Amino acid sequence: MGKPLIAGNWKMHGTAESARNLATQLSHHKFQENAVEMIIFPPLVHISAVSDVLANSRISLGAQNVSQYPNGAYTGEVSAEMLVDQGCKYVLVGHSERRVVFGESDQTVAEKFRAAQNAGLIPILCVGESLKQRQQDATFEVVAKQISAVIDLVGLDKVCQSVIAYEPIWAIGTGETASPEQAQDVHAAIRTQLGEAGRLTTLLYGGSVNKGNAAELFKQPDINGGLVGGASLEADEFLNIAQLVEA
């Protein structure tokens, strides 16, 4: 099975001060020796401040987005090498908000995945279906297509060396959550698509994860942890969720 992880996506929230305060609260937590790896994804402009706070902690740092280009005349973009320079270990690629709000295609996501890995970052590849697609029984087809686009570009082995997060679009920020059975079915399908090479790939669930539903989700055999949104902005709740992931 994959390595247990819990990741907190802070999205576009907070100031530098609130980001430092939240990171400080998390870093002061007394983690058990076998605790899961915790990753936090602050807004880009707060990465440097949070990196300083986490310097001597067990918490890993990640970025919410990355350019598919290594460098050049791309105003407003941030390269994977820049993120590494700021202390990042992970980066989200293909989050539903990037796909839906900003129009990122499967191909663009795959190119960002490649750029991240080439610079030494660990991509967390986000995949998931819309409510309409689920109602049309297209969930498995949509998720498989999103993963296949990355496999086609970088190869199966490199995809299996990443982290994959299933986040149904209809459950993100809505308070709705896929049932443990629904989530497990998709995670099992992902595991099957990856084959033997993906036996140890970490698979996360994301989509309105909170302390009330996390335990049942994380009990599922192919779910190795969670990608948490709003609940990660409260230190106590995020830590409570993290403790539910079996190390």
Catalytic residue among 37, 95, 97, 104: 95
Of 144, 210, 200, the closest CA to residue 175 belongs to 210
Catalytic residue among 37, 97, 129, 167: 167
Q: For residues 141 and 96, what is the distance between their CA atoms, to the nearest angstrom?
A: 16
The amino acid at residue 237 is E
CA torsion through residues 150, 222, 167, 86, sign: negative
The tokens of 53 are what? 């706070």
Residue 119: alpha-carbon gap to chain centroid: 18
95 assigned to active site: yes
The tokens of 221 are what? 């055999």
Residues contacting 188, CB < 8 A, separation 6+? 221, 222
Q: Left, alpha or beta for 76 (phi > 0: left; psi -120 to 50: alpha)?
A: left
Q: For residues 162 and 194, what is the distance between their CA atoms, to the nearest angstrom?
A: 12
237 assigned to active site: no
Contact (Cβ atoms closer than 8 angstroms) between residue 129 and residue 109 = no
Contact (Cβ atoms closer than 8 angstroms) between residue 183 and residue 217 = yes
CA 93, 98, 102, 104: dihedral to nearest 10 degrees? 40
Tell me which residues are annotated as active site: 95, 167
